[in-house]
Structure 1
C-alpha cells in the first residue's frame, strides 16, 4: 500500500486507499503483545505436533522432551509407546526431569531399570483421555498399576502435584498432555510375611523368636491363621527372668508353651476392635482382659506400645511385659468317686490313732479310710479280735503303709471288723467297725490281760473278796442288835 496524499483534503489525516491510517493505542499494543507471548508459550507441541506420527516421534520433535525420550529408550519403552494404543501420556518437560534429579547413568542394574520403568509407566494411561473427560477428583489407573488423582480448579488441571501446561496434543496412537513435574509412583506396600518372620526381622524380639523355636511353635505361627500375637520385647523377656536353658523336661517345656500361647488369640483382633473391659480367650485356654484409658491399651498388666503391625497371617501388637497365665485352679480328684461313704476314718492330730477309732454302720454300707500327706505311713490291716496282735490271714487290708491312703470296703453282713496299723500296732493304734448288730461277740485278744478261772491266783482272790464281804455283813448286823 502506498500513501495517497493527492486525494487528501487539506486538514484531513492522511489515509490509505482503503481507509484511514489508525495509530494503535497503547492498550491495543499491550493486548497484541500478550497474545503473541501466549502463542509462543504453546509452541512446545502445537507447532510441531503431527497427528500422523506416534507419541515417541512427537515427543522427540518438541525439543523440550529430550529427557523423556532418552528415559523411554533407556527403559526399552519406545517400542511400547509406538504401539497401536491408544495411550494417554503425561509428558514431563526436560526442566521437570532436571528438577526431579533423575540421572539415567544411575540406572544400571535390572532392579534400577525396573524402578525407572515403573516411574515412566506411571505417566501412561491405557486409553484416550482428553481434557474434556477430566473431572475434579477423578482417579485414573496408570499402566504401572498405581492410581493418580486429578484436580480441576478454575479450568486448571493437575494430576497429583503436577500441572498440565499443554493439553490434548494429538498423536497417531493417542494423546499427550504436557506436565511440569515428574510423577513418582506411591511407595509400594511391603510384601507381607508371616508373624514368625516379622518378629524375626524386628531386631527387638529375638527372645520371643528363640522361645517359639524352643517350644516348637514357629511352624504354628507360620500357619494360615489368622492369629493375633501380643509380642513382648527382648527387654520384657529379660525383666520376666525367663531363661530358656532352664526349660529342659517335657513338663518345663509344656509350661513354656503355655506361657507363649497365652500371648496368642486365634483370630484377627486389630486395635479398633478393642474396647475397655473386653475379654479375649487366648489359645492356651485362659482369658486376658483389656483396659482402654485415654487412648492407651493394656492387656492384663502389659501396655501395648505398638499396635496393628500387619503380617500375612494376622496382626502383631508389641507389648512391654510378658503375660503370665493365671495359676491353674488345683484339680480336686475325689478318690471315692462313685462311692458313698457311710463313715470316713482318718488319722488324728497325734499321728498315732485312727479318728474315729470306732464307727457304726448298717449292713451293706461302706467305710472309707483316707489320709493325705500324713507325717508317717499308716495302713489298715484286719486283726483277729479287739486289740489283737494277730493278723487275719488273707484278711481285709489297704495294702502297704503309706502317707497317702484312700481305701474303702463295703460290709455285707452283721459283724465287727477289728483292724490295726501295722507300723504302729505296738502303740495301740487300733480301730473297729461295728456292722449292724455286731455279729458274733469278738474273740478276746491274746494280750488283753483278762484272767480266767484257770489262771493261777484267781481262786485266792475270789475267796478273799468273799471273806471281806461276809465280815462287812456281820459288822452291820452287830450294830443293828
Structure 2
C-alpha cells in the first residue's frame, strides 16, 4: 500500500514537471485553435482588443508564436492599460512581433536563423541541445497545425526591439554615461565641422541632460545655447557642429560635481581646450613662465645700469 502511494506521488511529480501539450483541429484557423487550448485565453483576449482576430483568420499561411497565459502574467501585460490609440498601436506591434507571414515548421529552424516578423522587426532563433528559442522565449510545444498556418507555443511574451533613436543620422561620435552615472564617456571628443555628435542613455539611475556652458568646467550656462532639454533618465539627443569651435557642456543636475564634457570641432576655434588648460596649470609650464619673467626683469635692470 505504501509503495503504491509513493509510486503515485512520484508519477504526479513527473507529470507536473512535463511541459503540457497542445492539440489542435487542423481544419480550424489559428484564433479558433488558440481559444480551444485553455492556456491562451490572454492571447485571444489581446488579439480581440487589438482587432487582429480577423487578420489571423485570413488565408495566411501564418506562423504564430503563441505565449501562454502565464507568459502574459509574467510580462505584466494588462489589457486595461491599452486604451488610447498610441497604446493600442503598441499592443498591435507587440502581437504582430509574434507572427511570421508564411510557414516555419520546427524542422526548418536552425541555430542563428533570423526572420522578419509581420511588424517589420527581425526575430532570431537559437538551437542548443535540441532546445529551440526565439529571442528569450523557449518553444515548449512545436508544430501545432491549423487550417491557415502553424502555432508554436512559447513561454515568454516577445518584446519588439526598441527603435533606433538615431536612425538615418550619421553619428561621428556617441556619448554615454560612465558606470557610476556621474560622468560623460568619452568626455572629450574631436570631430570635423559638419559632423554630428549623439548623446544617448536609457533608463539611467538618475536624470541627466546636456547643456552648453561658457567655458572649461564652467557652471555658467550660455543663454539660448545648445541643450538636450530637461534632465531625464532616457535621452537621445544629437547636434551637428558646423564651425571650428570648442563646445563645452555640463549635466545640469550634476554641474557642481564637475560632470562636464567638451567637443573639439576642427582646430577648436579660438577657445582653449582642456588640454591647453591642463598644460597651463602644469608645474613645468608655471616654472618656465617664472624663469622667463625673471630673465626679462634681469635684462631690464642691465639696460638701465648701462644707460
Tell me how far 1:294 sits from its aligned partner: 2.5
Check conservation: 2:25, 2:145, Cα contact below 8 A: no
For 1:325, the equivalent position in structure 2 comes to 160
Q: Which runs of 5+ in 2 are unaligned?
A: 1-23, 170-192, 197-210, 232-236, 242-306
Q: How does 1:210-221 map to 2 (within 5 A)?
A: 210-221=45-56
Q: Matches of 2:141 and 2:227 in 1, distance apart?
A: 54
Give the alignment's TM-score, normalised by structure 1.
0.33
Question: 1:256: which partner in 2?
Answer: 91
> Partners in 2 of 1:311 and 1:281 — Cα distance?
21
Residue 82 of structure 2 is matched in structure 1 by 247
How many angstroms does 1:268 deviate by?
Answer: 0.4
Larger radius of gyration: 1
1:278, CA displacement in angstroms? 1.0
Pair 342,247 (structure 1): closer, same or farther in 2 beyond 3 Å: closer
> Counterparts in 2 of 1:374-453, with a 5 A limit?
none
| Aligned match for 1:353, one of 214, 222, 231 | 222
Q: Given the superposition, is the C-alpha separation of residues 247 and 292 from structure 1 closer, same or farther in structure 2, using an over 3 Å criterion?
A: same
Q: CA RMSD in A?
A: 3.6
Residue of structure 1 equivalent to 2:134 = 299
Relative contact order higher in (CA < 8 Å, ≥ 6 apart): 2
Q: 1:372 aligns with which of 228, 234, 254?
A: 228
Q: CA deviation at 1:328?
A: 1.6
**Corresponding residue for residue 279 of structure 1:** 114
Residue 371 of structure 1 and its aligned partner are, at CA, apart by 3.4
Is residue 370–residue 407 contact of structure 1 (8 Å, CA) maintained in 2?
no
Please give the alpha-carbon distance, in whole angstroms, between the structure 2 residues aligned to 1:324 and 1:270: 22
For these two proteins, the number of residue pairs brought into alignment is 177
For residues 234 and 221 of structure 1, the distance between their equivalents in structure 2, rounded to whole angstroms, comes to 19
Q: Which runs of 5+ in 1 are unaligned?
A: 1-188, 335-340, 356-368, 376-403, 409-479
Q: Deviations over 1:320-357 (max 9, x none)?
A: 111111222113677xxxxxx8899x8315354359xx
Q: Is contact 2:26–2:145 with CA below 8 Å preserved after alignment?
A: no
Q: Is contact 2:195-2:240 (8 Å) kept? A: no
Partner of 1:229, secondary structure, is strand
Are the counterparts in 1 of residues 63 and 149 from structure 2 also a CA contact under 8 Å?
yes
What is the Cα deviation at residue 223 of structure 1?
0.9
